Structure 1
Amino acid sequence: MPPTNPHLTLITGPSRSGKSRWAEYLAANLGVSITYVATGIPDPADQEWQARITQHQQRRPAHWHTLEPPLDLVALCQQPPPNSGLLIDSLGTWVAQFLALDNPAWLNMQNQLLNALKITANPVILVAEEVGWGVVPAYPSGRLFRDRLGELMQEIGALAGCVYLVTGGWALNLTQLGQPVPRAAFPDSAPPA
């Protein structure tokens, strides 16, 4: 099991569960300046999406610095603003932007992000959507999105000093209540022939 980074927090949960509000609450209580990293790309043709973005914007304190797409999330995590915490909302909208990448290119980008998160000394709070609790998506891009996001969340969860599950307006600290899933089901035995 890789060592955890005490500066890294992962918050996950279903849609409309309160996970962004919980992330904002934690960030506001870090005692450092906050850089809010919005990964959702505005789409003026989609009024419902724009309303969601506006709701998030109105909830943020005016003194938080906000970064919006296009942005290089890997570079930002490698060199965050000095004396600042990052609140990244959300991993799902970031992953969705790269579904066209082939698997080797995606894995390279994922590994770069994970390597940056392993060593960051700045507080980083990541918000991610739980997408695997429903039916298997009927289309390939939906399955690819679900699989990539789920695998990335497992990797980040293994690194994070704290992991929260937010559902129904309640935040559960999984690092206190749960046990990490082993990286291999049978670590001391050879794989079956």
Structure 2
Amino acid sequence: MSITLVTGAANSGKSEWAEYLASQCQKPVIYIATGLKNDHDIEWQKKIEQHQIRRPENWQTLEIPYNLVDAIALNFSDNCILVDSLGTWVANYLDKNNDDWQKEINHLLETCREYKGEIIFVGEETGWGVVPAYELGRLFRSRLGNLIRLVGGIANSVYLMVGGYAVDVAKLGINLTSVQDKIIGSQQDKKFPS
């Protein structure tokens, strides 16, 4: 199992770097596009077309706006799955209540841990800007930020796109999950001395 997260700001090169990584993995590539097509949004359609033009013809493309976990599970073999992107997937599920959304995340993480091939996720960093003035925007930002953190916590590599560079922060940083586990363990030792 190999999980990679590519994250960063808008137009930072996330998709291009993820596509490069997928092209280097020596496995059949399944590209999962999570964005919903919208013929009335010309700018969005142009962005989709740019992604389509860059994609090699031998990659299998699946348009999966909702059932991402099922799509990963159905392709449960020695493939390289590239998911672009987690942000649009989160946006498609904003109508879910918090309990159902948490179940969806837990199912995704569990499926990723069991996957035998490679998974490359593209995910946006939305929390570095202004706090949204409306509730739905804050919900999106919160859910996506939490999801990026959780996927990053199980990933082998976490690339942050900054100034045209891909920086593997998993090699440079300290995983917060491991730090939290140590804090919880030391607190339990204090409560239950042996």
Same fold, TM exceeding 0.5? yes
3-state DSSP class of the match of 1:189?
helix
d(CA) in 2 for partners of 1:35, 1:178: 30
Higher Rg of the two aligned structures: 2
Deviations 1:169-192 (A, max 9, x none): 1100111111112336942237xx
The structure-2 alpha-carbon separation of the partners of 1:70 and 1:48, relative to structure 1 and needing over 3 Å to count, comes to same
| Contact 1:158/1:180 (<8 A) preserved | yes
Instruction: Look up the equivalent residue of 1:17 and give its one-letter code.
Output: S
| Contact 2:84/2:122 (<8 A) preserved | yes
d(CA) in 1 for partners of 2:42, 2:154: 37
Q: CA deviation at 1:82?
A: 3.2
Which ranges of structure 2 fall in alignment gaps of 5 or more residues? 189-194
Q: CA deviation at 1:135?
A: 1.1
| Higher normalized contact order (CA 8 Å, seq sep 6+, divided by chain length) | 1
**For residues 104-183 of structure 1, what are the structure 2 equivalents within 5 Å?**
104-181=99-176, 182-183=179-180
Name whichever of 156-165 and 177-186 sits farther off.
Answer: 177-186
Instruction: Tell me, yes or no, if structure 1 residue 189 matches structure 2 residue 184.
Output: no
**TM-score of the two chains, using structure 2 as the length reference:** 0.91
d(CA) in 2 for partners of 1:68, 1:61: 16
Query: Percent same amino acid among aligned pairs?
Result: 44
| Contact 2:66/2:89 (<8 A) preserved | no
Q: CA deviation at 1:37?
A: 0.4
| Contact 1:18/1:168 (<8 A) preserved | no
Residue correspondences, number: 185
The structure-2 alpha-carbon separation of the partners of 1:180 and 1:15, relative to structure 1 and needing over 3 Å to count, comes to same
Instruction: Look up the equivalent residue of 1:189 and give its one-letter code.
Output: Q
Instruction: Look up the equivalent residue of 2:138 and give its one-letter code.
Output: R
Deviations 1:39-62 (A, max 9, x none): 011100000000000000000011
The structure where helix makes up a greater share of residues is 2
Q: CA deviation at 1:75?
A: 1.1
After TM superposition, the runs of 4+ consecutive aligned structure 1 residues lying more than 6 A away are: none
